[in-house]
């Protein structure tokens, strides 16, 4: 019998739209000769599988199963493709742990830590990785723009602390613009990270644990046509992505060794993508953040890196599923 896989998409946040874009690519490249795949949509209103006839079948949350034509379907593994909550912040991972279904992503604790940008860079910093100076600000304990600028030097980036896709992010060059940037970020999250700007070239690189090894994908250099790699640059084509990056072997090896260290320090699993600024004056990469469920849409970077290494997406997703299933067999 073929393994039965739940491909989980949707989500509760503004990033759900990105989840559905990724879902198109993933579904087009899953090996249905090898697996029986059922798409499960998780939305704020319901968890369901939609049949070919359009019927929405509710998920039994007690054991994460569905019933089709009187037959109960249990899943051997879950392939999580949700960006944002609850798929990227550890909540769904905790649920799958409770119902004993293996999944392709980082575990509950690692997902929660990496989803929180401040905690993520703190762990990386303890592991000896270079990170920018920053302040972690909470909505219920606000800090004035003036107080922030006593601690940090302009320019700074202001980011929602939990979340991805660069939604709500701003680069602030002038003191008078900081208050507005904080307001924009707080509209997306109750926590905000204010981080000093690091000058240099921006790189992003995927890394994954396969059944055999820790595999680092080809490095991509990101050159945004906007002032920084924001939502428009990521998803509306306002950037140039060069894969593989045209960099020296020395720089490439520094980035590769750093991303391996981050993957191990944060106890990652599955495919993640880490972002860096390489400061050439200091000849060091500075870690920005890690995405534990990186985008898989046609505009996304991981598919570019997979193709650049001579692989294909069907092979990528098959390896992800096989690694996930191997943990079930060994448990």
Q: At 70, list the tokens.
A: 């009187």
Phi first, then psi: give them for residue 169, nearest 5 degrees: -95, 145
Q: What is the Cα–Cα distance from 63 to 124, expressed in whole angstroms?
A: 36
User: Do both 124 and 16 map to the same domain?
Assistant: no
- Using CA atoms, how far apart are residues 125 and 121, in angstroms rounded to an integer? 6
| pTM for the structure as a whole | 0.87
Which of 256, 260, 189 is CA-nearest to residue 219?
Answer: 256
Domain that residue 88 falls in = 4-105
Compute CA 289 distance to the chain's CA centroid, rounded to the nearest angstrom. 9
Structurally, how many domains does the chain consist of? 3
Residues 125 and 258 in one domain: yes
Task: Verify that 21 and 168 share a domain, yes or no.
Answer: no
Query: Same structural domain for residues 122 and 268?
Result: yes
Question: 218 with 170, same domain?
Answer: no
Q: What is the pLDDT along the chain (331 residues), one digit of tens a residue?
A: 899 999 999 999 988 999 999 999 999 999 999 999 999 999 999 999 999 999 999 999 999 999 999 999 999 999 999 999 999 999 999 999 999 999 999 999 999 999 998 999 999 999 999 999 999 999 999 889 999 999 999 999 998 987 554 678 899 999 999 999 999 999 888 999 999 999 999 999 999 998 899 999 999 999 876 555 444 444 445 678 999 999 999 999 999 999 999 999 999 999 999 999 999 999 999 999 999 999 998 778 999 999 999 999 999 999 999 999 998 754 4
The reply to whether 206 and 171 lie within a common domain is no
Of 196, 217, 244, the domain-final residue: 196
Confirm whether 309 is domain-assigned.
no
Q: Note whether 27 and 73 are same-domain residues.
A: yes
Q: How far apart are CA 300 and CA 235, in angstroms?
A: 8
Same domain assignment for residues 192 and 208:
no
Residue 190 and residue 228 in one domain: no
Could you tell me if residue 26 is inside a domain? yes
The candidate with the shortest Cα–Cα distance to 220, out of 278, 161, 270, 171, is 278
């Amino acid at each position: 019998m073929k393994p039965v896989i739940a491909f989980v998409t949707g989500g509760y946040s503004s990033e759900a739209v990105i989840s559905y874009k990724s879902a198109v690519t993933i579904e087009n490249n899953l090996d249905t000769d090898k697996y029986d795949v059922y798409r499960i949509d998780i939305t704020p209103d319901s968890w369901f599988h939609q049949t070919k006839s359009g019927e929405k079948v509710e998920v039994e949350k007690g054991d994460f199963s569905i019933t089709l034509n009187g037959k109960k379907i249990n899943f051997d593994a879950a392939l999580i493709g949700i960006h944002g909550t609850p798929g990227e912040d550890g909540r769904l991972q905790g649920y799958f742990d409770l119902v004993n279904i293996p999944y392709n992503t980082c575990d509950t604790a690692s997902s929660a830590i990496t989803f929180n940008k401040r905690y993520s860079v703190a762990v990386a910093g303890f592991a000896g990785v270079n990170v920018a100076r920053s302040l972690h600000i909470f909505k219920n304990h606000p800090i004035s723009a003036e107080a922030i600028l006593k601690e940090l030097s302009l320019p700074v980036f202001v980011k929602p602390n939990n979340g991805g896709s660069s939604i709500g992010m701003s680069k602030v060059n002038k003191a008078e613009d900081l208050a507005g940037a904080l307001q924009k970020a707080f509209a997306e999250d109750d926590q905000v990270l204010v981080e000093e700007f690091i000058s240099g070239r921006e790189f992003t690189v995927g890394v994954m644990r396969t059944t055999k090894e820790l595999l680092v994908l080809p490095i991509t250099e990101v050159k945004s046509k906007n002032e920084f790699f924001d939502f428009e640059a990521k998803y509306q084509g306002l950037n140039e992505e060069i894969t593989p990056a045209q960099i020296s072997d020395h720089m490439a090896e520094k980035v590769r060794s750093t991303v391996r260290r981050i993957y191990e320090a944060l106890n990652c699993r599955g495919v993640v993508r880490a972002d860096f600024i390489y400061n050439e004056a200091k000849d060091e990469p500075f870690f920005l953040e890690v995405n534990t469920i990186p985008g898989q849409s046609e505009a996304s970077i991981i598919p570019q890196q997979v193709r650049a290494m001579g692989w294909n997406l069907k092979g990528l997703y098959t390896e992800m599923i096989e690694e996930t299933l191997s943990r079930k067999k060994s448990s």
